[in-house]
Amino acid sequence: MTTRFETEQKSGLLQRILTALPYVVLTISIVPIIIGFVWIIVATFSYRTQGILPINAQGKIGGLTLQNWTFLLDAKIWRVTFNSAMIALGMVVGVGFLSSLTGYALSRMNFRGRKTFLGMTLVLHAFRPELLLIAIFQVLLFIAGIPIAGKAFGFNTVGGVAIVMVSLELPLGIWLMKGFFDNISWDMERAALIDGASRFRVWWEIILPQIKPGIAALAIFNFISGWNAYLIPYTFTIGTKVSNLSVFLNQFSSDTSPMGWNQVAAVGLFQLIPILIFFIFTQEALLNIYGGGTKGGA
């Protein structure tokens, strides 16, 4: 960056220290995180660990093994992985579709109630929904009582968890999408209308292709929140059939569980893998959405 300045008077050594100092501070500050990740990877492949060192049965360094991964043979893990994937995909598709349509309408169309809806989105996107879980619990109990919808979206269903998560994420999604749409040239949309397209067609054929990077970023963001979700699945489901990876993992990581730390680490790494893959391939998009996400993508 350009905020670097060399001052002539300073001696070469002092200068070099000053240049290196930020790197040193940054590296030290990040150490706990790195160590955490090192531990989880080492632990996954070892018989036991002491600190971050792998230990064999004799108490010496060593004892690398794959036995911690035997959990993959258990059908339960695939059940909860499937549920996690469904919640994540539900978030990607549900929030993506609904917020790109609603965001478009709010950004670009004149209709009655637009102002009110915008104001609502604005307040809700800043509002944290954790507080409403108690009441949402009652809503889900109520939905569970409805004949057909209850089986799909009621209390203690994967659908219920997904739909709650989609709803709670919607205001942020709509606000972000609106920000993306705001930046699109009006003339282009006018041109398409004159060329003979309907509003829906303009949205689909002309506008959406322009904001592909934004949609992708939102999709990644939603996938990660869905895949990682803990609190909502934990609160609204009972038992492995409908719970997800996070809940499953937490159950077995509690101190009373028979599962050893190393198996816990293996399950944890298993859950981390898709996240890390996203992380590696979509860094720029992630930085943008986690940073700009709240100030309206504008």
Partner 1 sequence: MTPATLLVTVFFFVPALILFILSLTDLASSNFSEPWHFIGLLNYQRMFSDRFFPKILGNTIRYVTLTLIFFNVGLALLLALLTSYINRRAGFFFRMLWLLPRITPSVVYIVMWRRMVQQAPFGIINQFLGWFGLSQQPHLLNEHPWLFVILANGFVGASFGMLIFSSAIESIPKDLFTAAKVDGASTLQIIRDITLPMLRWPLLFVTSYQTLSLLVSFEYILLLTNGGPGLFTTEVWALTSYKRALSTYFGTNQWGYGAAWGLVLVVIAITASVIYLRVFRFDDLVQEPKIDVL
Partner 2 sequence: MKVELTNLTKRWGDVVGAEGIDLSTKDGEFVAFLGPSGCGKTTTLLMIAGIYKPTVGEILFDDRVVNTVPPKDRNIGMVFQSYALYPHMTVFQNIGYPLKLQKVPKDELQKHVQRVADMMGIGHLMDRKPAQLSGGQQQRVALGRALIKEPQLLLFDEPLSNLDARLRLSMRSEIKRLQMDLGITSIYVTHDQIEAMTMADRVAVMKDGHLQAFAPPDELYDHPKTLFIAGFVGNPPMNFIEVEVKQENGSYQVLGPGIHLDLPADRGEKVARSSKVIMGIRPEDISLADTGVKGEVYLIEPLGRDDLLDVRIGETAVRVLADPALGVRMRDTVTLHFNTDTAQLFDPDTEQSLLW
Stretch that binds partner 1, among 62-70, 72-80, 189-197, 208-216 (CB under 8 A): 189-197
Q: Nearest-5° angle of CA 128, CA 132, CA 135?
A: 170
Q: Which of 6, 8, 187, 255 binds partner 2 (CB under 8 A)?
A: 187
* Residues between 63 and 92 with contacts to partner 1, criterion CB under 8 A: none
Contact indicator for 230, 247 with CB cutoff of 8 Å: yes
**Nearest Cα to Cα of residue 226 among 164, 139, 153:** 164
206 part of the interface to partner 2, by CB under 8 A: yes
Distance CA 267, CA 261 (A): 10
Region binding partner 2 by CB under 8 A among candidate stretches 49-57, 181-189, 225-233, 262-270? 181-189
CA distance 181 to 107: 6
Q: How far apart are CA 87 and CA 167, in angstroms?
A: 12
Q: Does 29 bind partner 1 (CB under 8 A)?
A: yes
Range in contact with partner 2 (rule: CB under 8 A) among 26-34, 49-57, 203-211, 250-258: 203-211
Q: Partners of 176 in the beta sheet? A: none
195 binds, among partner 2, partner 1, none (CB under 5 to 8 A by kind): partner 2
* Residue 192 binding: pick among partner 2, partner 1, none (C-beta 5-8 Å cut-off by kind): partner 2
Interface with partner 1, residue 157, by CB under 8 A: no
Q: Of 19, 70, 138, 198, which one interacts with partner 2 (CB under 8 A)? A: 198
Asked if 268 touches partner 1 (CB under 8 A), the answer is: yes
Could you say which of partner 2, partner 1, none residue 120 binds, taking C-beta under 5 to 8 angstroms by partner kind? partner 1
CB atoms under 10 Å from CB of 137, counted, come to 14
Q: CB of 127: closest distance to partner 1 in angstroms?
A: 5
Confirm or reject binding of residue 277 to partner 1 (CB under 8 A): no
Find the DSSP H helices in 65-198.
Answer: 75-108, 114-126, 133-144, 147-153, 158-182, 186-195
User: Which stretch, 63-71, 137-145, 204-212, 281-289, contacts partner 2 (CB under 8 A)?
Assistant: 204-212
Nearest distance from C-beta of residue 209 to partner 1, angstroms = 19
Alpha-carbon distances, residue 35 vs 39, 42, 84, 100, 267 (angstroms): 6, 10, 27, 39, 18
Work out which of 134, 194, 273, 280 binds partner 2, going by CB under 8 A: 194
Residues in the chain, how many?
298
Q: Nearest distance from residue 220's CB to partner 2, in Å?
A: 21
CA distances 103 to 53, 90, 94, 204, 221, Å, are 51, 19, 13, 13, 17
Q: Which stretch binds partner 1 (CB under 8 A): 66-74, 144-152, 206-214, 275-283?
A: 275-283
C-beta of residue 215 within 8 angstroms of C-beta of residue 96 = yes
Interatomic CA distance for residues 217 and 282, integer angstroms: 8
Residues at the site binding partner 2, with contacts judged by CB under 8 A = 185, 187-188, 190-198, 201, 206, 209-210
